[in-house]
Amino acid sequence: MNDRDRSSDDRRSDRPRRDDAPSRNHRDRERADSQPARPDWQQRVDRPINSDRPKSPLIPEEITPEDLAMQVRVQLKTLTAENADMVARHLAMAGLLFDQDPQLAHAHAVAAVNRAGRIAVVRETVAVTAYAIEDWALALKEFKDHRRMTGSNEHIAMMVDCERGLGRSAKGLETGREVDRNKLDAETRVKLAIAMSGARLDLGDNELALAELEILELDPSRVFDYSPALFFAYSDTLEVLGRDAEAKKWADLAERAVKALTPKQSPEDEEFLIVEEIQLPTAADRPKRAPREDGDREWKPRGDSDRPRAPRRDGDAPRRDGDRPYTPRRDGDAPRPPRRDGDAPRPPRRDGDAPRGPRDSGPSSGGPRGGGRPGGGFGGPRSGGGRPSGPAGGAPRGGRPGGSRGR
């Protein structure tokens, strides 16, 4: 034995034996015990069932998914067909009830978001309906989620107004300054200026409130759809500053702008509106199950073991799940078709079997069964427009997004 072999043997003798060495599982267990425990939010798998959760409002049978605008309905294609139909009906109800019953419209929007919380237009509808019922916290949360999902700042004025409603006017000013006003369209820029001016009035900065409204759109020589709201807001701020003469001037300009934007009605422009009354269902209209009567057999799911079996005979192959049950032939049954060349061989005859029929060696007659289209006679979805989506299409308040000038 040379020196190299002797040194290798010494190194092997210094190593612990395999029986004494800790197992790999033991080392992994010690490593896992040394790591901190996972937080509770990572250990949740299923959403807990809340029995106190309010039920979704009922929808009349007259309301169909086609009552929702097509540009909104196409955004629900990522859902299943049944779920998309229910979400569309809830959104349609939210649009129909928005002006008459904002609280019920918000309930329909919440029912829709419980079914499709990852659809941007659904979150937008919840935000707008919450803004209408002055639930500022929920509206602000949903507006932020909508902006995160779409990257759009079209509701930035309502977000500032929600901060005002929560008593955080300074936070509302910070929110309004986060966006680049040059990238906003004219209408959104005007709404943001009105909301920022209202936040300045809440803080007592009246001069700065007037400066917020002095934008390019404040032009008395041109009138647009957003001009009356801007002129009225400018007039109110001048009145707060005690400049009554100028305030009256801008109020007159606002009224003239309203008249200029109102189309003149003539006998040729007369329109007839057909109002359809829909009876809203109540909780009493929910279908109820009939009470079980004495003597009724309790329903149980039927398994494979409950399926009737044919009597077994000597030589039969063992039955498998999914096999068709055996039905013995009776007198008067139709004769079996004759066998043709190329058919599979028949099983061997057993004692007691009926005599076989004559064998036909001629070619088979006839062609393939059926015909027509394999998919049936489905002609595609129903065509037709529908009513607009309502709150999902824009701001709920037709005038100033800031509401009253000073909260």
Of 355, 6, 1, 405, the C-alpha closest to 212 is 405
Per residue in 240-290, pLDDT tens?
999 999 999 999 999 999 999 988 776 776 777 777 777 777 766 666 666
Residue 185: other Cβ atoms inside 10 A: 10
Per residue in 99-154, pLDDT tens?
999 999 999 999 999 999 999 999 999 999 999 999 999 999 999 999 999 999 99
Residues 179 and 227 placed together within one structural domain of the fold:
yes
- Taking 70 as the pLDDT cut, the residues of the chain under it are 1-39, 41-51, 266, 269, 283-407
Distance CA(336)–CA(324), nearest Å, equals 18
Residues 158 and 147 placed together within one structural domain of the fold:
no
Last residue of one domain, picked from the residues 96, 130, 151: 151
Q: Number of folded domains in the chain? A: 2
Last residue of one domain, picked from the residues 151, 182, 197: 151
Distance CA(270)–CA(181), nearest Å, equals 41
Residues 142 and 162 placed together within one structural domain of the fold:
no
Residues 171 and 249 placed together within one structural domain of the fold:
yes
Is the Cβ–Cβ distance between 372 and 366 less than 8 Å?
Answer: no
Res 137: pLDDT: 96
Distance CA(15)–CA(19), nearest Å, equals 12
| Its pTM surpasses 0.75 | no
Residues 114 and 169 placed together within one structural domain of the fold:
no
In a domain, 232, yes or no: yes
User: Residue by residue, what is the 3-state secondary structure of the chain?
Assistant: CCHHHHHHHHHHHHCCCCCCCCCHHHHHHHHHHHCCCCCHHHHCCCCCCCCCCCCCCCCCCCCCHHHCCHHHHHHHCCCCHHHHHHHHHHHHHHHHHCCCCHHHHHHHHHHHHHHCCCCHHHHHHHHHHHHHCCCHHHHHHHHHHHHHHHCCCCCHHHHHHHHHHCCCHHHHHHHHHCCCHHHCCHHHHHHHHHHHHHHHHHCCCHHHHHHHHCCCCCCCCCCCCCHHHHHHHHHHHHHHCCCHHHHHHHHHHHHHHHHHHCCCCCHHHCCCCCCCCCCCCCHHHCCCCCCCCCCCCCCCCCCHHHCCCCCCCCCCCCCCCCCCCCCCCCCCCCCCCCCCCCCCCCCCCCCCCCCCCCCCCCCCCCCCCCCCCCCCCCCCCCCCCCCCCCHHHCCCCCCCCCCCCCC
Res 272: pLDDT: 73
Residues 167 and 256 placed together within one structural domain of the fold:
yes
In a domain, 387, yes or no: no
Residues 254 and 158 placed together within one structural domain of the fold:
yes
Residues 203 and 103 placed together within one structural domain of the fold:
no
Res 84: pLDDT: 95
In a domain, 21, yes or no: no
In a domain, 180, yes or no: yes
Last residue of one domain, picked from the residues 197, 232, 262: 262
Res 401: pLDDT: 40
In a domain, 351, yes or no: no
Res 394: pLDDT: 40
One-letter amino acid of 138:
L
In a domain, 176, yes or no: yes
One-letter amino acid of 4:
R
Residues 200 and 100 placed together within one structural domain of the fold:
no
Distance CA(176)–CA(195), nearest Å, equals 9
What CATH code is carried by the domain that includes residue 72?
1.25.40
Res 313: pLDDT: 60
Domain of residue 115 covers: 55-151
In a domain, 16, yes or no: no
Residues 79 and 123 placed together within one structural domain of the fold:
yes
In a domain, 334, yes or no: no
